[in-house]
């Protein structure tokens, strides 16, 4: 259980890349008060995204594995605004090997000497 929490917290703190693949707005919209015109390229900063999520923990800049205790032990990518980690992408194109990837990381850490 603790190893699972460490891996999950590490994935949260250290996303794979600085940005999610760029998208384009389909229609004019507002996000947090900022206007985004139609057909505007949108870059999402994953580093900031994983640290400023709506959750109950105050210390988003420190590795705190115990805060994941009590959560389900599976790779769960939430599609809501309050997701906590994004190691394998999300949506229709999320990584189909996410559960295998999580197991491989945990086996590598558990058997490392």
- Summarize pLDDT for 69-106 with one digit per residue, the tens: 555 545 454 444 445 566 777 677 777 888 888 889 88
Which sequence spans correspond to the domains of the chain? 2-17+47-111
Q: Which residue has the higher pLDDT, 22 or 57?
A: 22
pLDDT at 13 over 90: no
The answer, yes or no, to whether residue 27 has pLDDT greater than 90, is yes
Give the C-alpha separation, 113 to 75, whole Å. 26
Q: For 70-111, give the DSSP string.
A: TS-SS-----STT----TT--GGGS-TTHHHHHHHHHHHHHH
Q: Kindly tell me if the per-residue pLDDT of 67 is higher than 60.
A: no
Average pLDDT over residues 29-36: 90
Question: In terms of pLDDT, which residue wins out, 20 or 52?
Answer: 20
Nearby residues of 46 by Cβ (< 8 Å), 6 or more positions away: 15, 16, 17, 18, 19, 20, 86
Cβ pair 75, 88 in contact under 8 A: yes
Instruction: Write the CA distances from 21 to 77, 96, 109, integer angstroms.
Output: 17, 17, 29
């Amino acid at each position: 259980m603790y190893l699972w929490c460490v891996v999950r917290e590490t994935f949260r703190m250290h996303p794979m890349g600085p940005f999610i693949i760029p998208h384009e707005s389909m229609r004019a919209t507002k996000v947090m008060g900022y206007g985004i015109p139609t057909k505007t390229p949108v870059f999402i900063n994953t580093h900031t995204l994983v640290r400023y999520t709506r959750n109950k923990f105050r210390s988003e800049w420190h590795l705190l594995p115990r805060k994941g205790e009590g959560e389900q032990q599976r790779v769960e990518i939430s599609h809501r605004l309050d997701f906590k980690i994004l190691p394998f992408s999300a949506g229709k194109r999320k990584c189909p090997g996410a559960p295998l990837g999580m197991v491989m990381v945990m086996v590598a850490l558990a058997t490392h000497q």
